[in-house]
Amino acid sequence: MWQRNLLFVGLSVLGLIVLASRLLSNDPIESPKDFDATRYQQPEIRTVLDQVDSEFEASWREQGITSAGTTDDLTVARRLSLGLTGTIPSLEEIRVLQSLADEQRLDWWVSRLLEDRRYADYVGERLARAYVGTDNGPFIVFRRRRFVTWLSDQLHVNKPYDQLVRELISDKGIWTNSPSTNFLTVTLDEDNNGKPDAIRLAGRTTRAFLGMRIDCLQCHDDNLGTMNLGVKDDPRDGLQSDFHHLAAFYGGVRFSLFGVTDSKDEYEYQYLDADETEIVAPTPPYSLDLLSNEGTQREQLAAWVTHDQNKPFARAMVNRIWALLTGKPLVEPIDAIPLYGEYPPALETLADDFVKHDYDLRHLVRMIAGTKVFRLASRADFEVTQEHEDAWAVFPLTRLRPEQVAGGMIQAASLTTIDADSHIISQLIRFNEQNQFIQRYGDTGEDEFEGRAGTIAQRLLMMNGQLVKDRTKPNPFMNATTRISTLAPSDEKAVETCYLTVLSRLPSAAEQAHFLKLISGTNGDDRSERLEDLYWVLVNGTEFSWNH
């Protein structure tokens, strides 16, 4: 224990030296390479966004619901930053946004985030939860961190999503040299003769890539009529055999010293009430006409899953990216989208557009960010009810995830941006602090979009935890409060800067007046302590720990 503490102290001291040198520099934030001030006015983009907006407006009229007005640009920027990087905008980023023309801000900010390595790292981790879970998996043959790094690399270069998924399902090789195979090796079980678990893989495939829960069929037929397969005009109840015919695509997967390979082994299963096992042929549970007979069984499955006519594939990713950006999926639960039926506004339109643009994830993010719904306020001049949130007539209030809370606090304590370009010492300190906070605060696990209430322990950690103490105490090199106290040209600017840095907004007139009374006429240590108290209040307020 003392060795680790000594190492951290050494890193912290070195970090102070590095950060002190950075205080003397004033490198401007570069404009993103893909920034286009006219993007959202381009006819192709505008047509789709207008269609999405009209679908929601028609739904509101049908339900007799009034929508909230649009919110301010900084609130939209905060939502995007939380959803794509797991933290809040820095003060220097906010100052750049404020300097831009109104019509330029949205695309500038989205472009900056999508080109930021933090986006690839954060979204890669969020997607990995759906693909391989959160556990470390079987010893030696599974490398979750290697898998997440690989996934992040694919997002960073904007690899088309269909290509990424095909690689996950069909790749071969060693889990270290071919990191995508960790999707398979995470299911290796000693009780399964060293073979990846075909049943678990089939369940992952449908939930993660198709947004469907047909794994409930693995033990028995759907006797409740909740799983409609077949064709749209002639749906049928799901059968146990539907699931195992899908699992059969993974029946030939083998694991050896050469890593993941394919064999000609057949998949066998003993159905409910059957006397013995039988050979099960690989067959998709619906849309058999999309299945190709070229390649290995897994290559055939990968081609079927990602086929441009297999609508559940596009719907599932639209629903997931929507949830990442807003904190709430269009269809709940996130992996239970019906094969047929009435879908909520935006889902089908955005799915069609996603396919049309060759499964470009960055394009999908831009489209969701450009919708009217994403820019709605969470407050209104009428009583907001659950009905309004369910209809997306207001932006939904959702509790921040643990890493978003920690990331927000760490960034709020710095006036400069903490990102992949920051000094390695700064990144190590951030990594250490965030991990320790999450261990105490609690991780959300795989079911990350299921609503959870806050706990007393979490509130106490926010009020009295080490991270909040360390990030608000006097420290001219690491903490914003000390620097604001020293550098702010006026009391008004000091309060304004605190609000922008912590809550990504300006204080109201009443808030400004209240806190000015507390710091007016103070100086030195007394002034610093007052600003530390202000920071503590803002971080512990409900507004900070919610997406809104």
Of the listed ranges 14-18, 19-23, 77-81, 267-271, the least confidently predicted one is 19-23
3-state secondary structure of 230: strand
Q: For residue 222, what pLDDT is reported?
A: 64
Helices first, then strands: H and E counts in the chain: 25, 8
Q: How far is residue 353's CA from residue 535's CA, in Å, rounded to a whole number? A: 43
Q: For residue 531, what pLDDT is reported?
A: 86
507, 494 Cβ separation under 8 angstroms: no
Q: For residue 172, what pLDDT is reported?
A: 93
| Cα dihedral value 238, 244, 245, 249, nearest 10 | 140
Q: For residue 18, what pLDDT is reported?
A: 41
3-state secondary structure of 181: helix
Q: Where are the alpha helices (DSSP H) in 172-220?
A: 182-185, 198-204, 210
3-state secondary structure of 534: helix
Of the listed ranges 168-177, 234-243, 272-281, 495-504, the least confidently predicted one is 234-243
Chain-centre distance for alpha carbon 452: 17
- Given a cut of 60, whether residue 1 has pLDDT beyond it is no
Burial class of residue 4 in the structure, from the number of CB atoms within 10 Å of its CB (0-12 exposed, 13-18 middle, 19+ buried): exposed
Q: For residue 154, what pLDDT is reported?
A: 98
Range among 140-149, 312-321, 408-417 with highest mean pLDDT value: 312-321
Entry field: residues in the chain:
548
**Residue ranges covered by each domain of the chain:** 2-28+398-547, 31-115+312-389, 134-143+166-305
Of the listed ranges 49-58, 113-122, 237-246, the least confidently predicted one is 237-246
Residue pLDDT, tens place only, 435-455: 777 676 667 766 667 666 667
- Given a cut of 60, whether residue 223 has pLDDT beyond it is no
Structure tokens at 125: 């981790």
Q: For residue 451, what pLDDT is reported?
A: 64
- Given a cut of 80, whether residue 544 has pLDDT beyond it is yes
Per the omega criterion (within 30 degrees of 0), is the bond before 333 cis? yes
Q: How far is residue 335's CA from residue 333's CA, in Å, rounded to a whole number? A: 6
- The residues, ordered by sequence, that sit 6+ positions from 434 with a Cβ below 8 Å of its Cβ are 403, 406, 407, 410
Of the listed ranges 55-59, 232-236, 263-267, 525-529, the least confidently predicted one is 232-236
- Largest CA-CA distance found in the chain, in angstroms, rounded: 87
Indicate the pTM of the whole model. 0.90
Residue pLDDT, tens place only, 286-308: 999 999 999 999 999 999 999 99
Q: How far is residue 63's CA from residue 376's CA, in Å, rounded to a whole number? A: 18
